[in-house]
Structure 1
Amino acid sequence: MKKLLFVAIAALSVLVSCNQTNKKRDTKQEEIEPVAAKTISQVMEIAAQNVGKEVFFQGMVQHVCAHSGRRAILLDETGKLSIRVEAKGEINGFNRELSGSTIAVKGTIAEQRLSEETINEYEAKVKAKQDAEEGGKHCAAEMTNITKMRDWMKENNKKFYSIYFINGTSYEIVE
């Protein structure tokens, strides 16, 4: 009887451990599979649910960081939506001559969260600059952005504002 009980427990533990291993493999495989996205707007639509997952998409290079070349801003086909791509992986940097070119990017979706406290501090700096009459239209645009962030936080019942970007691992120029 004791042998039968021991064999039953051993068999059960083997089954349970095998199932957990398979589940872990499936989850790992799911994390590695790239997310289907071909445009910047598609990336932005799926970004919140797919942080850390790989994507492939195209966009026109609007701006390359002049200081280091480690950051590029890409525009969608309408010219109204943009996304930041950070140089990581095989990308040592973006050449400024890429401006105006369409590139295909492979990378991972990343998120930066701005807390309410950070937004409050930013707003105080903008107001101080505005009060010193240094800001003009620039300060008005910053205040509009702050208002939009706060509205989004309120609508989504969040205590932070999310900025999605791509840690680019490779790219190629689209002819």
Structure 2
Amino acid sequence: MKNLLFVAFAALSVLLSCNQSNKKQDTKQEEVKTLAANSISQLIEMAEQNVGKEVCFKGIVQHVCAHSGRRAFLVDETGKFSIRVEATGEINGFNRELSGSTITVKGSIAEQRLTEKEINEYEAKVKAKEDAEEGGEHCSAEMANITKMRDWMKENNKNYYSIYFVKGTSYEIVE
């Protein structure tokens, strides 16, 4: 259920295989292990416990934001799970021609928490839009996602809804 809710909200925001590697940190030369996830679904499963940690995974570019190219949405091979990747580090942006390509991404797991107040404000905007457009498939899907977020919050006894994504530092196209 948690994965389904994440995927549903990731769609509203329009986020696997690497060897472990070492990275030198500051002048202390400490080693930081990069977590390897075999799939986007595994990345999502381990996200809550690993916020801020480096990760490496593979996915198919489903969408690149057209205005800035600073966000890409990757899906797994089944198309059931997706994750947003924000361009940081060596990534200046994602080229729109990447759509449909399989890429390997390195970056760190990040979390955005939506409070109940923010969800209420979002719901009010969706309802206003629905009234102005006389309903529609788009608004009903958004309302269903809002309901799922609230249900998840109740089930998990949380006063927020977590959205996990990756701050991408580098990527390579898989040939």
- The one-character-per-residue Cα deviations of 1:126-145 (angstroms, maximum 9, x if unpaired) are 11222233441111001000
Question: What are the ranges of 5 or more consecutive residues in structure 1 without an aligned counterpart?
Answer: 1-27
- Give the superposition deviation at 1:66: 0.6
- For 1:156, the equivalent position in structure 2 comes to 156
Question: What are the ranges of 5 or more consecutive residues in structure 2 without an aligned counterpart?
Answer: 1-27
Please identify which structure carries the higher helix content. Answer: 1
Query: Residue 162 of structure 1: SS of its match in structure 2?
Result: strand
Letter in 2 for 1:46: M
Could you tell me the percent identity over the aligned residues? Answer: 80
Where do residues 129-148 of structure 1 align in structure 2 (5 Å cutoff)? 129-148=129-148
Q: Distance in 2 between matches of 1:171 and 1:125?
A: 36
Letter in 2 for 1:159: N
- For 2:99, the equivalent position in structure 1 comes to 99
RMSD: 1.7
Question: RCO higher in 1 or 2 (8 Å CA, sep ≥ 6)?
Answer: 2
Letter in 2 for 1:97: E
- For 2:77, the equivalent position in structure 1 comes to 77
- For 1:111, the equivalent position in structure 2 comes to 111
- The one-character-per-residue Cα deviations of 1:80-105 (angstroms, maximum 9, x if unpaired) are 11100000000011111110000000
Which TM-score applies when normalising by structure 2?
0.80
Query: Residue 126 of structure 1: SS of its match in structure 2?
Result: helix
Q: In the comparison of the two structures, how many residue pairs are matched?
A: 148
- For 1:122, the equivalent position in structure 2 comes to 122
- Give the superposition deviation at 1:37: 1.1
Q: Distance in 1 between matches of 2:145 and 2:115?
A: 15
- For 1:66, the equivalent position in structure 2 comes to 66
Residue 159 to residue 107, structure 1, CA distance change in 2 (3 Å): same
- For 1:171, the equivalent position in structure 2 comes to 171
Q: Distance in 2 between matches of 1:95 and 1:133?
A: 33
Which TM-score applies when normalising by structure 1?
0.80
Higher-Rg member (1/2) = 1
- For 2:49, the equivalent position in structure 1 comes to 49
Runs of 4+ residues over 4 Å off in structure 1: 28-31
Residue 131 to residue 31, structure 1, CA distance change in 2 (3 Å): farther
